[in-house]
Structure 1
Amino acid sequence: MQTVQKSGDNTKHNLLDGIKSTFRSNVRQYAMLIALVVIIIIFQILTNGILLVPMNVANLILQNSYVFILAIGMTLCILTGGNIDLSVGSVCAFIGALLGTFIVSMKMNIWLAIVFCLVAGLIIGIWQGFWIAYVRIPAFIVTLAGMLIFRGLTITMLKGLTLSPFPESFQKLSGGYIPDIFKGASALNLTAIIAGIIISIVYIFLEAKKWSASKKNEYESNSLYVMIGKIALVVVATNLVFYWFAKYKGIPVIFVIVGVLVFVYSFFANNTIQGRYLYAMGGNEKAAKLSGINTNRVLFFSYVNMAVLSAVASIAFTSRLNAAAPQSGTNFELDAIAACFIGGASAYGGVGTVIGAIIGALVMGVLNNGMSIMGVGSDMQMTIKGFVLLMAVAFDVFSKSKR
């Protein structure tokens, strides 16, 4: 009897130790995830249940899609040593102006125009990346110059005018939904329900495989109970989101695009050599260089990638706005930077994840959406968001000093 009780006590003790260890090693990310859940619950109560109405959930994704995309790229820049890109808003506006010129004014095929705009983003990234990585002008200065240059070029190209409307096929990139292949079989969009189940199964398989490999190779890993709890939470959240989609119009096209980007960049950062170079450089650039890492190339890549993702974000935003305007992209860079820092990226570099940046973007998005539903003025919204950003970075500094 005593042996059974002792075994039970050990299991409970190991479980608590596993939870503490997991939380401690990912303190910023888990803290903001908890904060996100708390914020959602608070606004769900304050808005009398409007926040989590299926239509509003879909609109939350659509409205913040550009922030998700920019935050992914900004995370890679921050990882290299706390570097940021101040030009992304102006680059988005410039690419939007190109889209308006190509599609609205010149009546160009939308797919050809999109390819040209992505190439333009690549060229912009090469231009800025060269000065930052090889001439070693501080990223702050180069991207500040880029912010002014591309805003000026946008105004010059549009001549102060707004170009619209875009073709309906272009608008569907950010406002369209995946058709239900089981249309008429149910009041719900069954395609969305099945997609949620498939994604859950794939996630369970990948997590179980990862945990098994860690145990086999004797790497540090979570306890079985912690892993099961984590999987259960993710699976419930995933299927809940897809259920909301199923009750509305289905899966938004832009949600699929963002989902693919999150998966690809998470895999790149965590499972490839080049991705680990970003963390190594941010942790200690001199040590990374001495170990044989070409830090100039790593820095160059991060800014080229940022510009290309800025072009993608511009396509998503312009499609939703249905217009190319000179003032487009204002404060986009601040939204992306705030999302990264709130989501767990360190202001000193070397720490941060793509998933964390998405959590940070969701925190900002829920705050914006919830306060808008409540009728809070834009001045107060800016004050609250600024306070949240300050507290997130202060938490990073405090947790570093404690360690």
Structure 2
Amino acid sequence: MRNLRQSGIYIAFVAIVALFAVLTDGVLLSPGNLTNIVLQYSYILVLAIGMVILIIAGHIDLSVGSIVALTGAVSAVLVIQNGQPWAVGALAAVAVGVAVGAWHGFWVAYVGMPAFIVTLAGMLLFRGLTLQVLDNVSLSPFPPEYQKVASGFLNGLIGGQGYDAFTLLIAALAVGGYAVGVFRTRLARIRYEQPVESFPLFVARVLLVAAVVMYFAWQLAHARGLPIVLIILAVLVIAYGLVTKDTVFGRQVYAIGGNLSAAMLSGVKVRKVNFWIFVNMGFLAGVAGVIYSSRSNGAQPGAGNMFELDAIAAAFIGGAAVAGGVGTVVGAMVGGLIMAVMSNGMQLLGVEQSTQSVIKGLVLLLAVAFDIYNKRRAGATR
């Protein structure tokens, strides 16, 4: 059932892209618009990485939007107001995010308060601190070096006539790495007699992912090349994919979300793991804060509004379970891309913002309903 759902996510993504490509007469898939999607939604995808890890462990963070605003504000005050180097502002923003994550982790892991309550309080607390840091006014602009974090490109490194060959090379390497990785995972599951999808379905999934990635890279190569923010996102996805799948810490996160009592009896240091996943969420919120402030070329008191809901939606649409114990970083990325394509497509069609919110809310509701349906069906067959 899980394999069916994961494959269904990829199929749904391709179907949604195809639908909006037809409705927008191909504008959705134009090189310029695909580049815009990457730049516009990258910070949501960064947040979704941390959010899916929290959800796997049975937690949630409602404050990430406020943390994005606060970290961007700290960076703006240092760089714009005080004239510090742009790197100092970026590092300070990430450090503030880590500190906020540690604050949340302390209350959840060591005091025992529910993450929902702690982060709800954090949403209000850190939004108020943002207003104080900015003195309730916007700050801009950042220096060009800072702006390049979210709007810079790598191109022309190895040539290409009318296109950027470096972008295509990186995409080809990524596809090859993905194919090798999923094939090794499949062999390992077979070796330990775990269920796997049929081989034709497996091949179809790999080819589908390869086709989507290479088409996307081809379009980027004919635009402005490889966005720097996409490189940052790719590094994070690869790193966290390895951490969640191939490390003891990652397995402990799944164990806590799957069966807390069994995890404790197995010797998992639940408090320590819970603390560090909130620190990690703060770190990624700090990174997202730098990207967003770079993208908007400034810091605003209302920055990050509703970002937490987009990140949560990405995780659930990407296959995370409400009860915890299930979810993947790649799934969260696909879920986030589904939301991004829907938002961008509806904007191109001129759909009102209120209608966009209704549609995205219904998509999230259906994703969670599908998860509940799967659980009930699995329980009935036992």
TM range (shorter): over 0.9
1:162 aligns with 138
Residue 358 of structure 2 corresponds to residue 383 of structure 1: yes
In structure 2, what residue type is equivalent to 1:332? F
Aligned to 1:152: 128
The percent identity for this pair of structures is: 41
**Shift of residue 393 of structure 1?**
0.6
> Residues 77 and 116 (structure 1 numbering): CA distance in 2 closer, same or farther, change over 3 Å?
same
- Contact kept in structure 1, 2:3 and 2:196, CA below 8 Å: no
Instruction: State the one-letter code of the partner of 1:126.
Output: A
In the TM superposition, what whole-angstrom CA distance separates every residue of 1:347-368 from its partner, at most 9, and x where no partner exists? 1101111111111111111111
- Provide closer, same or farther for how the CA distance between residues 329 and 45 of structure 1 changes in structure 2, counting only shifts above 3 A: same
Tell me the residue number matched to 2:18.
Answer: 41
Which of 229, 238, 250 is 1:254 aligned to? 229
Q: SS at 1:147's partner residue?
A: helix
Q: TM-score, normalised by structure 1?
A: 0.91
Could you say which residue in structure 2 is the equivalent of 1:91? 67
Q: Is the 8 A contact 2:155 2:167 kept in 1?
A: no
Work out whether 1:207 is the aligned partner of 2:176. Answer: no
Deviations 1:107-138 (A, max 9, x none): 11111222222121111111110000010011
**Equivalent residue, structure 1, for 2:322:** 347
Trace 1:163-312 onto structure 2 (pairs within 5 A): 163-183=139-159, 185-216=160-191, 218-312=193-287
Any gaps of 5 or more consecutive residues in structure 2?
Answer: none
1:337 paired residue among 277, 301, 312: 312
1:95-134 equivalence runs, <5 A? 95-134=71-110
User: Offset of 1:213 from its aligned partner?
Assistant: 4.3
Deviation beyond 6 Å, 4+ runs, structure 1: none
Superposed displacement of residue 215, structure 1: 4.4
Contact 2:93 2:289 survives alignment (8 Å):
no
Give 1:49 deviation, angstroms: 0.9
Larger Rg: 1
Counterpart residue identity of residue 337, structure 2? L
Contact kept, 8 Å, 1:192 with 1:251, in 2: the verdict is yes
CA distance in 2, matches of 1:129, 1:171: 31
Range with greater deviation from structure 2 (200-209 or 190-199): 200-209
Q: 1:150 to 1:167 in 2, by over 3 A?
A: same
| Distance (Å, rounded) in 1 between the aligned partners of 2:214 and 2:314 | 24
Question: Would the alpha carbon gap of residues 74 and 195 (structure 1) be closer, same or farther in structure 2, given more than 3 Å must change?
Answer: same
The aligned amino acid for 1:238 is V
TM-score when normalising by structure 2: 0.96
How big is the alpha-carbon RMSD for the aligned residues of Structure 1 and Structure 2?
1.4
> Cα deviations across residues 71-109 of structure 1 (Å, max 9, x unaligned)?
00001110111x210110111101011011011001111
CA contact 1:28–1:343 (8 Å) conserved in 2 = no
